[in-house]
Structure 1
Amino acid sequence: MKRLLPLLAVLLSAITFAQTPCQNGNAGPYPCNGLDLQSRIGLNVFGTDRGNDSWGWTDPQDGKEYALMGLGNGTAFVDITDPVNPIYLGKLPTHTDPSTWRDIKVYNNYAFIVSEASGHGIQVFDLTRLRNVSNAPETFTEDAHYNGFGHCHNLVINEETGYAYGVGTSSFSGGPHFVNIQDPLNPVAAGGFSGDNYCHDAQVVIYNGPDTDYTGREIFFGSNEDRVSIVDVTNKSNPIGISNGFYSSVDYTHQGWLTEDQRYFIIGDELDESAFGFNTRTIIFDVTDLDNPVVHFEYEADNEAIDHNGYVKGDEFYLASYRAGLRVFDISNIGGEEMVETKFFDTYPNNNSTNFDGAWSVYPYFASGNIVISDIDRGLFIVRDSSLGVNENATSNFAIYPNPAKDIVNITSKTELINQVEIFNMLGQKVLDLSFDQNLSENVDVSNLQAGMYVMKVNASTTKRLLID
């Protein structure tokens, strides 16, 4: 019990705003639509005066979920497995000086952290250490360090190949700096690309899109201040520039993300709202032909806030939009030149003007449906789609067993008839969708699922974690 007391004290002191459903357009003081507030942790808890980027990690051993939040003076690690009662586990201080900019990505259970601070390089942190924190919040030390560059605006990781790409460094004219991180504790320089000058942010994928000329190649999609830069980085010693994409009224090409079919690249220009008077503008490139990217259409929102970081998950686009908070769009008809805002959670309730406050980034990839928003001024928010219903920690009408399971999972209820069971993997992708004839007990065959952690959703309302052996 004594070991639990420090954790309990931190847990209780950290939650500066607890679970609040979105009702009549608000969750407490925060304007919202379709997203419930689970909890918020203020910056004072983290011992800093500003926040920035965020990412997430799911422990493959037990399915626990962790938010990783960049701070002015380091990186915070928070156990959000119970999103209503998050636990601040500790902070990794900055390698050199504080900075407004810090970026975090994850590969093979390690966090890789960069900053614009001079001489910072890449900090490498073993995330499995979070399993054994007994005296939270701890002050962590890095497990390894890469000094092949100093300051770095952002870091991109292709988890399929084990390569990291530092962008906005003083090397390669600010273009991508390649680092082999296949052995996470021994990162090795692997070249770079300077053909398109400074790169601010990027996404790198093993290409499986419609342009068969590049199938299976490792392709870099860069947001390079005044253009989209597409580069073949398969051969690290000989990267090849493929093409540039340009659009009108450009001011600062900031960040972009591919649709899951790799047919469209959705980008934001960080300064066009203030420079040209647009409402929040999103530019959608058609990259069906990688040699000739063209603007497919532009979307303009109903508010004037500046867009920042956006990510695609399935048919939804999650955009951290500074003073307008998190905005979620249905992009299922993006081919028909349509984006529809369906949900939002405004972490900056004062106004939606064109200023650099509010939501910096969002991480929507937890299988549980928990969504992390990192806010410059107000800290870490955990929100959740209102349609997901109660948390699995709450009282539920359903029981599932065995759990862990190998072949068959039995679902039982004393009162509510079972009509649908959906199972999602850790990337939030639906891997099983079954309909039933309204019984109180059903068996679900999971023998074709790979071992790992999943989320089971019953009757489109109740979620349960499921471990497959």
Structure 2
Amino acid sequence: MKKILQFAFILSSASFSLIAQTPCEDNLAAGFPCEGYDLQARITPAQMDASLANDSWGWTDPESGIEYALIGLNNGTAFFNLEDPTNPLYLGKLPTHTINSTWRDIKVYSNHAFIVSEASGHGMQVFDLTRLRDVSTEQTFTEDAHYDGFGKAHNIVINTDSGYAYGVGTQTFSGGPHFINIQDPLNPVGEGGYADNAYSHDAQVVTYTGPDSDYTGREILIGSNENEIAIVDITDKSNPVEISTIGYSNIGYVHQGWFTENQRYFLLGDETDELLFGFATRTIIFDFNDLDNPELHFEFEGNNTSTDHNGYVVGDKYYLASYRAGMRVFDISDIGNESMTEIGYFDTFPPNDAVGTSALWNVYPFFRSGNIVLSGDSGFTLVRDPDFLGIEDETLTADLSVYPNPATTLVNLQFNKPLGSVSIYNILGQEVLQVSSQENKLQLNTSDLPSGVYFVQVGALTQRLIIK
């Protein structure tokens, strides 16, 4: 029987876990339609003592490398330790600051979670995520700080470069962004806001490094403002300046968007256009080469009819939470030539892909391990591309590259300097193979190893190896 090699980049050999509890086979994983993504775990709202889930985010502990899922609920925020991604450990919940609400939103800065809700008087909760490190049993947590410069908020946006949070959809500044200095996370300070473009439903704020040199290094907000996109220079919090606005044909509800990593193109989701105009799932792509003169680049329609919600870009992939069609993943490497291609999906709502604002609300695709958090009214789902090699981490110098060949049992290692000693350990920590090389390339033959989980160690770097 042919052995298949699969790899996942990890931060240390302390994270021992299989990558796929229920593989996607014949386009199904435990009854969920899929392509290219395995099901690792699924948690219902009832298992989190709630009636529904909504938004989500993630945090990676910089000391241990352990990943945590932060799940918004109608009555609070749930925390999961993902050290064993096929068996997430539920650590407990931070209850809502006031009453329950369908809407809750979470972002992370400097090891703290910042949480808002549309519940009246909720304000912004601040929670120190390092408190999760030593938790092993379910707890009810308390907030570490609270900001009451606004009551309700639809969403919160954070620029982790500048240390500012932005409440949007509040009752302040006509619903426009409300500026909060969170550089000292436990002492948030309001610094005004921006009301000139009225209500902002969602936004992305970046320290600009894109192609328009007029704004290099400026703090730029891209607001999804119901009926238009607003581009605003908010570097000077006391004097925010509109750069430009742009619309498009057949506007339903300008909901949420995200830059490509080169900050050239902006991918926008309109939440009601499928319902109002009969589109298949539509993504509108803008060319922001000149922030003063943004242009519509092209419109892309997917292969189903579902309503789109939140979407994010990682590298050349666009991850879209598409409500009843679940997570859809697109290759956007050729977006400059007006091309997007769906390359995978995981549908958390099998009955249909109809229009409607229920099922999958959010996808968090930023974990370096490749774990992807999905959340929506039916709960929390964790999925993973089994062929994902991991996102390079500059703090680990990214020296180790592994190139698996599924047709063989040969492992090719490449280092940017002589490899020295290379060892393979089994799950018990026993060394089963050891070689040395003064070259920077080495090929290992693993045909004598039985199926199981192993770890390839080169210097201080460890690579998980799964042989099936």
Alignment TM class, shorter chain as reference:
0.7 to 0.9
Q: Which residue of 1 is the match for residue 361 of structure 2?
A: 360
Deviations 1:377-398 (A, max 9, x none): 2x11000003238x9xxxxxxx
**Displacement of 1:314:** 0.2
State the identity as a percent: 60
- SS of 2:113's equivalent in the other structure is strand
Change (3 A) 1:122 1:284: same
**Displacement of 1:422:** 8.9
Query: Among 80, 83, 88, which residue is 2:82 paired with?
Result: 80
Deviations 1:333-382 (A, max 9, x none): 000000000000000001000112211000001111100000212x1100
Q: Which residue of 2 is the match for residue 252 of structure 1?
A: 253
Contact 2:76–2:96, Cα closer than 8 Å, also in 1? yes
Q: Which residue of 2 is the match for residue 466 of structure 1?
A: none
C-alpha distance in structure 2 between counterparts of 1:195 and 1:406, whole Å: 45
Q: Which residue of 2 is the match for residue 399 of structure 1?
A: none
Contact 2:154–2:201, Cα closer than 8 Å, also in 1? yes
One-letter amino acid matched to 2:48: F
Change (3 A) 1:444 1:24: same
Task: Give me the TM-score of the superposition, normalised by structure 2.
Answer: 0.83
Q: Which residue of 2 is the match for residue 145 of structure 1?
A: 146
Change (3 A) 1:405 1:158: closer
**Displacement of 1:133:** 1.3
Task: Give me the TM-score of the superposition, normalised by structure 1.
Answer: 0.83
Contact 1:408–1:444, Cα closer than 8 Å, also in 2? no
Q: Which residue of 2 is the match for residue 384 of structure 1?
A: 384
Q: Which residue of 2 is the match for residue 6 of structure 1?
A: none
For residues 228-307 of structure 1, the aligned pairs below 5 Å read: 228-307=229-308
Change (3 A) 1:31 1:175: same
Query: Would you say how many aligned residue pairs link Structure 1 and Structure 2?
Result: 409
- SS of 1:386's equivalent in the other structure is coil
Deviations 1:200-252 (A, max 9, x none): 00111110000000001000011000111100000001110100011100010
- SS of 2:369's equivalent in the other structure is coil
C-alpha distance in structure 2 between counterparts of 1:30 and 1:372, whole Å: 15
Q: Which runs of 5+ in 1 are unaligned?
A: 1-17, 392-403, 424-433, 447-453, 463-469
Q: Which residue of 1 is the match for residue 412 of structure 2?
A: 419
- SS of 2:108's equivalent in the other structure is strand
Which one scores higher on RCO, CA 8 angstroms, separation ≥ 6? 2
Are residue 195 (structure 1) and residue 163 (structure 2) matched? no
C-alpha distance in structure 1 between counterparts of 2:363 and 2:143, whole Å: 24
Change (3 A) 1:211 1:455: farther
C-alpha distance in structure 2 between counterparts of 1:209 and 1:90, whole Å: 40
Change (3 A) 1:407 1:113: closer
- SS of 1:299's equivalent in the other structure is strand
Contact 2:181–2:191, Cα closer than 8 Å, also in 1? yes
Deviations 1:166-199 (A, max 9, x none): 0000111100000000000000001111110000
Are residue 216 (structure 1) and residue 221 (structure 2) matched? no
Q: Which residue of 2 is the match for residue 400 of structure 1?
A: none
Q: Which residue of 1 is the match for residue 228 of structure 2?
A: 227
- SS of 1:332's equivalent in the other structure is coil
Q: Which residue of 1 is the match for residue 434 of structure 2?
A: none
Q: Which residue of 1 is the match for residue 160 of structure 2?
A: 159
Q: Which residue of 2 is the match for residue 436 of structure 1?
A: 441
Q: Which residue of 2 is the match for residue 394 of structure 1?
A: none
C-alpha distance in structure 1 between counterparts of 2:78 and 2:358, whole Å: 20
C-alpha distance in structure 1 between counterparts of 2:293 and 2:396, whole Å: 49
- SS of 1:132's equivalent in the other structure is coil
One-letter amino acid matched to 1:171: T
- SS of 1:268's equivalent in the other structure is strand
Contact 1:211–1:288, Cα closer than 8 Å, also in 2? yes
C-alpha distance in structure 1 between counterparts of 2:212 and 2:36, whole Å: 37
- The 4+ residue runs of structure 1 with deviation greater than 3 A are 404-411, 420-423, 434-437, 439-446, 454-458
For residues 89-108 of structure 1, the aligned pairs below 5 Å read: 89-108=91-110
C-alpha distance in structure 2 between counterparts of 1:354 and 1:58, whole Å: 34
Deviations 1:302-352 (A, max 9, x none): 110000000000000000000000000000000000000000000000100
Q: Which runs of 5+ in 2 are unaligned?
A: 1-19, 417-438, 447-455
Q: Which residue of 1 is the match for residue 312 of structure 2?
A: 311
One-letter amino acid matched to 1:178: F
Contact 2:103–2:118, Cα closer than 8 Å, also in 1? yes
**Displacement of 1:409:** 8.0
For residues 318-467 of structure 1, the aligned pairs below 5 Å read: 318-377=319-378, 379-388=379-388, 416-420=409-413, 436-439=441-444, 456=463
C-alpha distance in structure 1 between counterparts of 2:41 and 2:398, whole Å: 36
- SS of 1:387's equivalent in the other structure is coil
Deviations 1:225-282 (A, max 9, x none): 0111100000001110100011100010000000000000000000000000001000
**Displacement of 1:407:** 11
C-alpha distance in structure 1 between counterparts of 2:342 and 2:415, whole Å: 25
**Displacement of 1:417:** 3.4
Q: After superposing the two structures, state which structure 1 stretch, 434-443 or 240-249, moved more.
A: 434-443
Are residue 28 (structure 1) and residue 45 (structure 2) matched? no
C-alpha distance in structure 2 between counterparts of 1:373 and 1:127, whole Å: 20
C-alpha distance in structure 1 between counterparts of 2:398 and 2:256, whole Å: 43
How much is the aligned-residue C-alpha RMSD, in angstroms? Answer: 2.6
C-alpha distance in structure 2 between counterparts of 1:311 and 1:84, whole Å: 24
Query: Among 85, 102, 111, which residue is 1:109 paired with?
Result: 111
C-alpha distance in structure 1 between counterparts of 2:359 and 2:288, whole Å: 31
C-alpha distance in structure 2 between counterparts of 1:345 and 1:213, whole Å: 41
Query: Among 44, 47, 50, which residue is 1:48 paired with?
Result: 50
Change (3 A) 1:409 1:372: closer
Q: Which residue of 2 is the match for residue 133 of structure 1?
A: 135
